[in-house]
Structure formats: C-alpha cells, structure tokens
Structure 1
Amino acid sequence: MGAESALYTILVEKIKQDALVLPLLPKIALNVRQAADDADISLGKMSDIISHDAALSLGMLKVANSVVFGREIKVESVAQAVTRIGLRKIKSIATGIAIEQMFVSNNPVISKYMQKSWGETVDVASVAIALMTLYLTKHKRAPFTLDTLTLAALIHNIGTLPILTEAENHPEVFAKPVFLQQAIARLSNEIGAEITKAWGFSEELTELVMSWNDLSILLKEVHYLDFIRAGAVYHEIFTSESTRDILLESLVTKDILPEAKFMDSEAFSELLTQVRAMFN
C-alpha cells in the first residue's frame, strides 16, 4: 500500500469509527459566541472579552475600519470597533478571525501547507466579501449578511486541518505534498462538515462546507455558495476553463457580477485590495 493510500485509509477508518480528532474551536471564539448568545450581554462586556486576545482585538479593529463598514472615521479601540460592528455580527466575525490561530504546525512541510491553505481561504473570502458588499448595495432586501458570509468563507475549507494534523503525527510517511494534496481533495469536504457539526454551527453552513466545490449543485436562486465559488473562480481553484465560464455566466445571470469580466476590472481590484487588508 502506498503512503497516499495509507493516509487515505487511516482517515476513512477514523471517520467511520468516529475516532478522527476534530479541532477544537479556539477558546476566545467560544467565549465570544457564548457571550453573544446571552440576551443581557452589553457592548462593554463584549469589548472586555475580545480585549483579552491581542490577535482578535487587532482583527476587530481592521474589520471595523474596513470598506465593508464604509466609514471614513477610523475607530481606535476595541470598544469602538464592537460598537461599530454590532453585537449581532460580532459572533460570526470573531469566530472567523480566531480560526486563523489554528493553522499552525511545528513541522516545516505541514506548516507550509497550513499557511497555503489559510492563504487560499482568505483569498477566496476576500473576493466573496467584496462581491457581497457590492451586491447588498443594489439588493438591500436580500436575505444575506456579510457576517454570515465571512464565517462561511473562512470555514469553507476547514476540513484540511484534521488531515494535516494526522499527517503531522506521522511526518516521515505522510508529510509529503503529493500525499497531502490527494487526501485533501478526497476528504476535506466530508471532514469539514463534521467539524461544523461538532462546533454547533448551522445546518446551512454544514451543507455549504460539504458542497462548495461540488458543481453538480447549481442553485437557481442566489446563495452564499455563489460568492464563495466566485472567489474560487477568481483564484483559479477551479482549473477547468469551461467550468469557470459556466460559473461566471451564472454569476452574471444572478446579478452578482455586472458582466463576466468584471473581476478583471481595476475598480474590483481596488475594492478587493481594501477588503483583503482586513486579514493582513
């Protein structure tokens, strides 16, 4: 049995036996989510919770000052950031930001893969957020929120984490790019869906993680999937030119893109740069 098949077999068996160790949501994200579910939570208390984590505090400041919130006056404190973002949106945005802390490894090969995986996730998320920002300016009554999309985009490929962790446990055999790429392609969606369930996320997010790159599922109505897939098209994660053309045509039909080549425009590039700054 080759190493690729061995890794695949180990992962499949652990999934079947419910023995695969799923990553735990970062403690700070749990704290924020629990606080946000408290009907009596105040903006001040939420600010205190976020302020205990330097990375999350910085992330919240970047989000609050981003083009997404469209404010010229910059906020300079966590309290101001929480006030601008709002308690309803804090839960999803804080969770998404905190997830970055999970993509770390002491193994050079695994670490490189984790950085690559998180980088691609942010790339896709940035495009998705930029397009939804534009979409919501034209469709103000659309049943979508930027905070939900942000979380969805930042977890859409979360299934790579347990695969990389398993490889890290046996680096002499599995910490090789070709094996990791195959295992991720085959299993990351299924594993990612299990993670969303373990974290108590909505069924909608579970389905999104399971099907974001399953192009047999083409929804007639606008969906969060469309924005994430737009990010995958932009960054050529979908390698087939015909697939990209079909998706672009669908995005134009749904009025997510004004025309097929819009994402090549200077205007979109400028907006994307501004959105991407949230994650730098």
Structure 2
Amino acid sequence: MSAENALYTILVEKIKQDALVLPTLPAIALKVRQAADDPDIDLGKMSDIIAQDPALSLGMLKVANSVVFGRAVKVESVTQAVTRIGLRQIKSIATAMAVEQMFISNNEVVSEYMHLTWRKTVDVASIAIALMTLYLQKNKHAAFTLDTITLAALIHNIGALPILTEAESHPEVFAKPIFLQQAIINLASKIGGEVTKAWDFPEEFTELVTSWSDLTLLPKEAHYLDFIRAGAIYHEIFKSASTRDILLKSYVTKGILPDVDFMQTAEFNELVAQVKTMFE
C-alpha cells in the first residue's frame, strides 16, 4: 500500500473509531471564553485576561483599529480595544485571533504546509468579512454579526489541521502535495465538525464548518455560508466556472453583491486589503 493510501486509510479509520487526535484551543482562548460566559465579568477583568497574552493583545488591537470595528480615533490599549469591540463580541473575536497559534509544527516541512493552509484561510476569511461589513452597512437590522463571520471563516477549514498533524508521521506524503490537498478536500469538513464539537462551540459553527463546501446545500435567504463561499469563489477553491456563476448570481439576488463582478473592483479589493491587516 502506498504511503498516500495508507495515510488516507488511517484517517478514515480513526474518524470511524472516534480516535483521531483533535487540536485543543490555546489556553488563553479558553480563559476568554470562560470569562465571557461569566455574568459578572466586566471590561476591566476581560482586559486583564487578554493582556496576559502578548500575541492576543496585539491581535485585539489590530481588530479594534481595523476597518471592521475602527473609528476615527486609534485605540492604543487592550482596555480600549475591549471597550470598542464589546463584551458581547469579544468571545468570538478573541477565539478567532487565537486560532493562528495552532498552525505550528516543529517539523519544517509540516510547518510550511500549515503556514500555507493558514494563509489560504485568511484569504477566504478576509473576503467573507469584507462582504459582511458592506452587507451590514446596508442591512443594519440583519441577524448577522461580524464576530460570528470572523470566527466561522477562520475555522471553516480547521479540519485540515488534524490531517496535517497525522501526516507528520508519514513524511513521504509531503513530497506529493496533490494527495494532501485531496485528503483535505475529502475529509476536512467532517473532521472540522468534530473539532468544533470538541471545543464545545454552538451548533451553528459545526454546521458552517461541515457544510460550507457542500454545494447541494443552497440557502434561499442570505446566510453565513454565502459569505464564506464567496471567499472560496474569489480564491478559486471552487473549480467549476458554472458553479461559481450560479452562486454569484444568487448573491446578487440576495443583496450580498451589487453585481457579479463586484469582487473584482478596486474598491472592494482595497477593503479586503484593509481587513487582512487584522491577521498580519
């Protein structure tokens, strides 16, 4: 049996037996999530928790000063950032900012693959967040939130992480990136759903992670799935031109896009570039 087939068989079997080692959220993300669920938490206490982690503190400052949450006045402290973002949204945003910390490996080759996977995730997320920002400007009473799309978009392909970790035991497969890509395409959504369950995320996130690439599911009304899929269209993750055309036309009908070519405009790409600064 080839190394590629062996790894694929191992992954499938571990999924069946619920034996696949799933990633755990960084400790700081768990602290923030637990604190956010405390009815007695206040901005000061939350700021103190976030300030314990320099990387997360920097990430929160970038978010607070981004085009998504920013105002004319730049915030320069964690307390100001938490105040601007708000306790209601801090749980998802802090988790989203901590996710990047999991895409690391001591193996140089695996680390490079994880870096590339994370960058692709950021690319998709930046499109989704930019579109949601514009959508909410025009639909102020829509039942969507920027913190939800930020977290959902940044974990939409989280299932790739356990696959890469498992592949670390089979270094031969890294010489054939096409196989790894296929393994991720075929298994990442299912594995990602298990990750969100292990992290005790709301069912909404599990549904988004397991369904974003399943194009048999086409919501009639605007849905978080649409924004993530728009990112996948932009970055040509969906290969079928006819599929992309159908989806883009449906997004125009739903009011997500003003026209099918909008994502190619300089105006939109400038917004995407500004959104991406949150992750750099």
What TM-score bracket applies, with the shorter chain setting the length? over 0.9
In structure 1, what residue type is equivalent to 2:116? K
In 2, Cα distance between equivalents of 1:107 and 1:185: 23
Tell me what 2:258 maps to.
258
Q: How does 1:128-147 map to 2 (within 5 A)?
A: 128-147=128-147
Are the equivalent residues in 1 in contact too, given 2:7–2:170 (CA < 8 A)?
Answer: no
Tell me what 1:167 maps to.
167
Tell me what 2:127 maps to.
127
Does 2:82 correspond to 1:116?
no
Are the equivalent residues in 2 in contact too, given 1:3–1:179 (CA < 8 A)?
Answer: no
% identity of equivalent residues:
73
Offset at 1:277?
0.7
Task: Name structure 2 gaps, 5 residues minimum.
Answer: none
Tell me what 1:60 maps to.
60
Give deviations 1:26-80, integer Å, cap 9, x for gaps: 1000000000000000101100100011110000000000111240100000010
Normalization by structure 2: what TM-score? 0.98
SS of match in other structure, 1:15: helix
In 1, Cα distance between equivalents of 2:54 and 2:188: 30
Are the equivalent residues in 1 in contact too, given 2:3–2:170 (CA < 8 A)?
Answer: no
In 2, Cα distance between equivalents of 1:88 and 1:74: 21
Tell me what 2:227 maps to.
227
In 2, Cα distance between equivalents of 1:223 and 1:127: 15
Are the equivalent residues in 1 in contact too, given 2:62–2:277 (CA < 8 A)?
Answer: yes
Are the equivalent residues in 2 in contact too, given 1:190–1:210 (CA < 8 A)?
Answer: yes
SS of match in other structure, 2:68: helix
Are the equivalent residues in 1 in contact too, given 2:109–2:174 (CA < 8 A)?
Answer: yes
SS of match in other structure, 1:169: coil
Tell me what 2:96 maps to.
96
In 2, Cα distance between equivalents of 1:182 and 1:231: 19
Q: How does 1:1-280 map to 2 (within 5 A)?
A: 1-171=1-171, 173-176=172-175, 177-280=177-280
SS of match in other structure, 2:250: helix
Offset at 1:179?
2.7
Aligned length: 279
In 1, Cα distance between equivalents of 2:58 and 2:156: 23
SS of match in other structure, 2:71: coil
Are the equivalent residues in 2 in contact too, given 1:251–1:257 (CA < 8 A)?
Answer: yes
Runs (4+) of structure 1 exceeding 4 A deviation are none
SS of match in other structure, 1:67: coil
In 1, Cα distance between equivalents of 2:235 and 2:181: 17
In structure 2, what residue type is equivalent to 1:256? I
Range with greater deviation from structure 2 (63-72 or 145-154): 63-72
In 2, Cα distance between equivalents of 1:268 and 1:182: 31
Offset at 1:17?
1.1
Range with greater deviation from structure 2 (264-273 or 153-162): 264-273
Offset at 1:133?
0.5
Range with greater deviation from structure 2 (9-18 or 156-165): 9-18
Offset at 1:175?
2.8
Give deviations 1:218-248, integer Å, cap 9, x for gaps: 1101110000001111111111111111111
Are the equivalent residues in 2 in contact too, given 1:43–1:87 (CA < 8 A)?
Answer: yes
Are the equivalent residues in 2 in contact too, given 1:4–1:182 (CA < 8 A)?
Answer: no
In 2, Cα distance between equivalents of 1:77 and 1:193: 35
In 2, Cα distance between equivalents of 1:194 and 1:10: 17
RMSD over equivalenced CA pairs, Å: 0.9
Offset at 1:15?
1.0
SS of match in other structure, 1:157: coil
In structure 2, what residue type is equivalent to 1:32? V
In 2, Cα distance between equivalents of 1:69 and 1:18: 40
In 2, Cα distance between equivalents of 1:235 and 1:170: 29
In 2, Cα distance between equivalents of 1:69 and 1:202: 24
